[in-house]
A and B are shown apart, each in its own frame.
Chain A
Amino acid sequence: MKTLVLVEHDNACVKDATLHTVTAAAALGEVHLLVAGQGCAAVADEAAKIAGVAKVHLADDAAYAHQLPENVAPLVVALMADHEAFLASATTTGKNIAPRVAALLDVMQISDIIAVDGPDSFTRPIYAGNAIAKVKTSDKKLVITVRGTAFDKAAASGGSGTVETVPGTGDSGIASFVGAEIAASERPELTSARVIVSGGRGVGSGENYHKIIDPLADKLGAATGASRAAVDAGFVPNDYQVGQTGKIVAPDVYIAVGISGAIQHLAGMKDSKTIIAINKDEDAPIFQVADIGLVGDLFQIVPELTAKL
């Protein structure tokens, strides 16, 4: 079958999430990509080099500058006349656009897949990952979002896809972009980092977070994350949140500092290879999933650890 993958980008570079989604698409059939954006020809060229990509559809138009679903969904629907499956990453961009496409195609979307079991069957977590469902669809076309941590990245080079310009489908006139506050960070991105240090309510304040968590992360070259409680309390911004309703991560090493281990938090990190927990409560649920635990006061342990590394 011919698949169409939505490329995630910032009009300059392809985001890593796309590479994972390409791997899922390749398990279904021939991989075509869609680059919709403004002034994004370089993205299309970069995308064409991804291993296994046959073709890149490039739609360069002001209407697509900010990935507004009201504008992007009709474009995808037009391209789906020639494709059997549409795949997007299960990121906030993919989750915003894919269901809109599904409804316009009268297809039931399959969300957040972690395995491709066959041309019409897929595995996906439900109930915050406390259960794993295998589902089969009877729809003629597929609309899927892909959990990146479950699929390896396709190689960013080695492919030789062709780039084809496609006409836009116009501006819906019902939605417009006003602005964004996107945090710039020197640190690795949470969803692709090898090591993550996360702070919870136990850290106490934003000031403490930066005094305690940041230096450890710097030493380890790690990304920094947080529990919902830490985000709600304003220690760090929303994009730090790991969990059922935040980001899903699976680094080699996840260090949870002052995090109790609620099921909604575990849902976002329990596929990490090694989990390390630092908590003063020896009965904290986080220790039930941690490979290595250290019971004690984080304000003492973490600075000592940072100093000794």
Chain B
Amino acid sequence: MKILVPVKRVLDYNLKPRVKADGSGIDLANVKQSMNPFDEIAVEEAIRLKEKGIATEVIAVSIGEAKSQETLRTALAMGADRAILVTHDGVAEPLAVAKLLKAIADEEQPGLIILGKQAIDDDSNQTGQMLAALLGWAQGTFASKVEVSGETVNVTREVDGGLETVALKLPAIVTTDLRLNEPRYASLPNIMKAKSKPLATKAPGDYGVDMTPRLTTLNVSEPPKRQAGIKVASVDELVTKLKALGVAA
């Protein structure tokens, strides 16, 4: 079976986002952008399924500006076989992204689509679930273990109370949590090889999807800053403080 892996280019997770002075958003000019960490985990999982002989082909997809090519090349260098870039310069909301991914899934007929559970920029945590709804497929979100056997995939999910396992009929959607795997680094030879792997460029219009956002961002601001407080010098002082806070008798 084929596996589709949507990957998103986001502000590198090591960087602290800066809010633009005019309140229109986050300043992304000249800052390092990388693959969303959850999507690296998704790519890794797909490649492992191919290495186990369960998947036959891994296709990475990204929706975004032309530079998202770099993110796709990273996925190819990790081991994806080919890539599709749907270029779009403005805001791409999860609903629109899910509609594009549905159209691509209709064409490619994958057995599994593995997404990140959330993108670390907008933190929406929606795209996978929306795609599952549009395709009418089952969903295994926040996965920490994925086991494919025959026509079924068993997904162990990280839920608020602990862990939960569901059995899903294939084709299905999986979204990755942090502990699913540790993504590999692409080796230099593989980075070179990735340059010649196929990368198709498309436009939302090719799939008949209207990208008009439903949400308007009125304003983006910095959260109230916490002030650093005081340092105490001893445990006794800390005990006094805790008593003053009323949490210790």
A305 to B165, Cβ gap below 8 A?
Answer: no
B241 part of interface (Cβ distance < 8 Å): yes
For window 205-249 of B, CB contacts with A under 8 Å fall at 213-223, 226, 228-239, 241-242, 245, 247-249
Chain A 172-189 near chain B by CB (<8 Å), digits 1 or 0:
111111111111000000
What's the Cα separation between A108 and B239 when bound, in Å?
49
B203 part of interface (Cβ distance < 8 Å): no
| Chain A residue at smallest Cβ distance from B233 | A294
What's the Cα separation between A174 and B166 when bound, in Å?
10
What's the Cα separation between A91 and B152 when bound, in Å?
26
| A19-27, A52-60, A127-135 - interface stretch | A127-135
A178 to B162, Cβ gap below 8 A?
Answer: no
Query: How many residues on A have C-beta within 8 angstroms of the other chain's C-beta atoms?
Result: 90
CB distance from B103 to the nearest CB of A (A): 14
B222 to A131, Cβ gap below 8 A?
Answer: yes
What's the Cα separation between A174 and B127 when bound, in Å?
19
B161 part of interface (Cβ distance < 8 Å): yes
B66 part of interface (Cβ distance < 8 Å): no
B70 part of interface (Cβ distance < 8 Å): no
A81 part of interface (Cβ distance < 8 Å): no
Interface SS, B side: mixed
- Give chain B's interface residue range (CB within 8 Å of chain A): 35 or more
B192 part of interface (Cβ distance < 8 Å): no
B230 to A294, Cβ gap below 8 A?
Answer: no
Residues of B within 8 Å of A136, CB to CB, are 215-216, 218
A107 to B17, Cβ gap below 8 A?
Answer: no
What's the Cα separation between A97 and B129 when bound, in Å?
8
Chain B 180-196 near chain A by CB (<8 Å), digits 1 or 0:
00000000000000000
CB distance from B101 to the nearest CB of A (A): 11
What's the Cα separation between A252 and B244 when bound, in Å?
13
For window 267-309 of A, CB contacts with B under 8 Å fall at 270, 274-276, 282, 287-295, 301, 304-305, 308-309
What's the Cα separation between A26 and B237 when bound, in Å?
44
B109 part of interface (Cβ distance < 8 Å): no
Q: Known contacts being A109-B94, A127-B26, is A121 close to B123, with CB within 8 Å?
A: no
What's the Cα separation between A134 and B217 when bound, in Å?
6
A133 to B231, Cβ gap below 8 A?
Answer: no
CB<8 Å pairs between A and B, sample of 24: A68-B166, A70-B139, A100-B132, A103-B131, A103-B134, A109-B94, A111-B123, A130-B17, A131-B26, A132-B222, A135-B215, A137-B216, A194-B247, A232-B179, A238-B162, A238-B177, A276-B238, A276-B242, A289-B226, A293-B230, A293-B231, A308-B235, A309-B239, A309-B248
CB-based closest 8 A-B pairs: A291-B229, A99-B129, A108-B214, A103-B130, A103-B133, A99-B126, A175-B138, A178-B165
